[in-house]
Amino acid sequence: MLRPRIAIDGYNLALEQGTGIATYGRVLSQRLGALGAEVGVLWGQRGASGRDELLREIMLLDARPPKTPWLQGAVFDLRAKLRLRLGATAVPVPVTGRVIRRGMEARTPHADRMWNIPDLYRAAAINYGVGGRFAEVTLPDAPEVMHWTYPLPIRVKGARNIYTIHDLVPLRLPYATLDVKRRILGTLRGIAAKADHIVTVSEASKRDIVELLGVPEDRVTNTWQSVELPAQLTDMPEAMARGAVEGSFGLPWGDYWLFYGAIEPKKNLGRLIEAYLASGSALPLVIVGKQAWRVRQELGLIYADDGRILGEADAGDGTQVFSRRLRDRVVLLDYAPFRLLVSLIRGARGVLFPSLYEGFGLPVLEAMSLGAPVVTSNVASLPEVVGDAAVLVDPYDVRAMAEAIRAVETHPGLRAEMAARGPRRAALFGTEAYDRRLAEMYAKVGVRFPQVPEGA
């Protein structure tokens, strides 16, 4: 049986610190490889161009891609738009092993083949914003299926194009994202009309796609997501993990609360901090997350209220402009390497994730798989992910959230029960189950795998 040829986009994979969608793309590439597919990745990196094959391979992993002056950048944008208008053809990037990838597994997908079109994703967004047209690109020896892991206004010629729509948060909570709503709605409607199939990651998101975009149910498949944490991290002896947490962050093992994720309105950090303070907990709250936008509103409670005034808006929106009042109670970490984040999760008294809306909610699945007690929201996809293995609360109800924090802190039996149930629940989203769901979904567009798991 010939190996099916499937390509994914490298749009989120190229981000320096990644996103949940980047994790989705990496896991998808790995599972496609395990199913026996020939996996390709289409990048849009500016530096990975030119005639030198080795340089193209090097530049895909360059930690500091070349910066260009504004005027030169505008020329590049114009050239990229013209390239798309005329029909862009991707340039192959060698996969030779000459560039060492060990240690880069958290950033790089599994790939048998790679291509690059410089500035593809930026140019496609500009192209769609100006003319409302999907870009069409050509890949040498086109794959059977192009799986876009994000709703991008692009198609690959000669392939069946399927798109993953993770959620419709910009449409359901328009005040909670910075997306240009007219553009994102137009792109989503275009995908609804043009896609050979649509993939999503929860029943909640599937309902939204069917109801808001009018897509027939049989054209949308929910595969959920999967989590596959490296064994060298999950199996690390507790003494070593404890040492890493205490040595790196000065945090006592088992005696802190943890939130991790982007600091943005939908994550509900403002209410979480209010609930944490109202709970009377003496344990510190650790917040690990990149500051996205509306930081002032989300984190305002943790700064001084002693007559000092928040910094002027034009002084920056980061933590440095605030006078801290609760320095010993709330710990802000802009970023933690994944190897340390896993230890932080393992050592938490509980993981708090009261998001207002999630397409899936990967942090709660990761936390459950590591045996950490979880308090999360009773809305959108989160109840279907956690089942009975977490404490569910109304994310708009600060009192209910505070009571949940207090209950988890003061009842060892409740924590032990969640620590036992969490890994069992997470196993339902393990790689074997995910492989079966992927095989079922790809069968709908005519793809069969040589290594189909039992039950598919």
User: Where in 236-325 does DSSP place strands (E)?
Assistant: 257-260, 285-288
Poorest-pLDDT segment among 119-133, 294-308, 413-427: 294-308
Residue 452 resides in a domain: no
pLDDT, residue 63, reads: 54
Say yes or no: 302 and 421 in one domain. yes
Q: In angstroms, rounded to a whole number, what is the distance separating the alpha carbons of residues 282 and 271?
A: 18
- Does residue 298 share a domain with residue 165? no
What 3-state class would DSSP assign to 203? helix
* Structure confidence by residue, pLDDT tens digits, 249-272: 999 999 999 999 988 889 999 899
Average pLDDT, rounded, for the chain: 86
- The band of 51, judged by pLDDT with boundaries at 50, 70 and 90, is confident
Comparing 391 with 227, the larger pLDDT belongs to 391
Q: What is the mean pLDDT of residues 234-247?
A: 95
- As a whole number of angstroms, the distance between CA 296 and CA 312 comes to 11
Instruction: Output the pLDDT for position 319.
Output: 42
Q: Please tell me which residue, 32 or 51, carries the higher pLDDT value.
A: 32
Residue 453 covered by a domain: no
The band of 290, judged by pLDDT with boundaries at 50, 70 and 90, is: confident
pLDDT of 72-94, one tens digit each?
566 666 766 677 766 788 888 88
* 122 and 99 share one domain: yes
Q: Is residue 92 part of a domain?
A: yes
| Model confidence band, residue 323 (pLDDT cutoffs 50, 70, 90) | very low
Structural domains of the chain, count: 2
Amino acid 382: pLDDT? 98
**CB of 44 closer than 8 Å to CB of 10:** yes
At residue 232, does pLDDT exceed 70? Answer: yes
Q: What is the rounded average pLDDT of the residues 68-74?
A: 62
Crossing angle of helices 362-369 and 412-427, rounded to 10°: 110
pLDDT at residue 311 in the model? 45
Give the pLDDT confidence score for residue 99 in this predicted structure.
Answer: 73
- The pLDDT value given to residue 115: 93
Residues 185 and 274 both lie in one domain: no
Q: Please indicate, yes or no, if residue 455 is contained in any of the structural domains.
A: no
Do 193 and 61 sit in the same domain of this protein? yes
CB atoms within 10 A of CB 332: 17
Confidence class for position 237, pLDDT limits 50, 70, 90 = very high
Q: Tell me the CB-side half-sphere exposure of residue 17, using CA atoms within 13 A.
A: 12
CATH code for the domain of 290: 3.40.50.2000
The torsion angles phi and psi of 180, rounded to 5 degrees, stand at -75, 105
Residue-range definition of the domain harbouring residue 54: 5-226+431-443
Q: What is the pLDDT of residues 325-349, one digit of tens each?
A: 566 688 888 888 889 999 999 999 9
Residue 291 DSSP symbol: B
Residue 410 clears pLDDT 50, i.e. is over it? yes
Same domain, 63 and 199: yes
* Residue range 52-67, pLDDT digits in tens: 777 777 777 765 555 6
pLDDT of residue 54: 76
Same domain flag for 80 and 188: yes
pLDDT at 393: 98
Q: What is the DSSP string of 313-372?
A: GGG-SSGGGS-BS-TTTEEEES---HHHHHHHHHT-SEEEE--S--SS-HHHHHHHHTT-
State the pLDDT confidence band at 299, using cuts at 50, 70 and 90: low
Per-residue model confidence (pLDDT) at position 257: 98
Domain-located, residue 208? yes
User: Contact, 456 vs 9, CB < 8 A?
Assistant: no
Report yes or no on 311 lying in a domain: yes
Q: Kindly state whether residues 246 and 261 are assigned to the same domain.
A: yes
Q: What mean pLDDT is predicted for residues 428-444?
A: 95
- Over residues 368-390, the pLDDT tens digits come to 999 999 999 999 999 999 999 99
Given a cut of 50, whether residue 455 has pLDDT beyond it is yes
State mean pLDDT over 195-214.
98
323 plus 304 within the same structural domain: yes
| In a shared domain, residues 44 and 80 | yes
pLDDT tens, position by position, 3-16: 999 999 999 886 65
Using pLDDT thresholds of 50, 70 and 90, give the confidence band for residue 322: very low
Is 451 domain-assigned? no
pLDDT band at 163 (very low <50, low <70, confident <90, very high): very high
Average pLDDT over residues 277-306: 73
Q: Is 99 exposed, middle or buried (0-12, 13-18, 19+ CB in 10 A)?
A: middle
430 alpha-carbon distance from chain centroid: 17
Question: Closest Cα to residue 46, out of 122, 97, 110, 146?
Answer: 122
User: Which pLDDT value is given to residue 373?
Assistant: 98
Asked whether residue 456 is assigned to any structural domain, the reply reads no
Give the range among 20-34, 292-306, 430-444 with minimum mean pLDDT. 292-306
Same domain, 197 and 283: no
Predicted confidence (pLDDT) at residue 312 exceeds the cutoff of 60: no
- Tokens representing residue 51 in the block: 């005639």
Q: 409 and 312 in one domain? A: yes
What pTM does this model have? 0.88
Instruction: Tell me the percentage of the chain whose pLDDT exceeds 70.
Output: 81
Q: How confident is the model at residue 419 (pLDDT cuts 50, 70, 90)?
A: very high
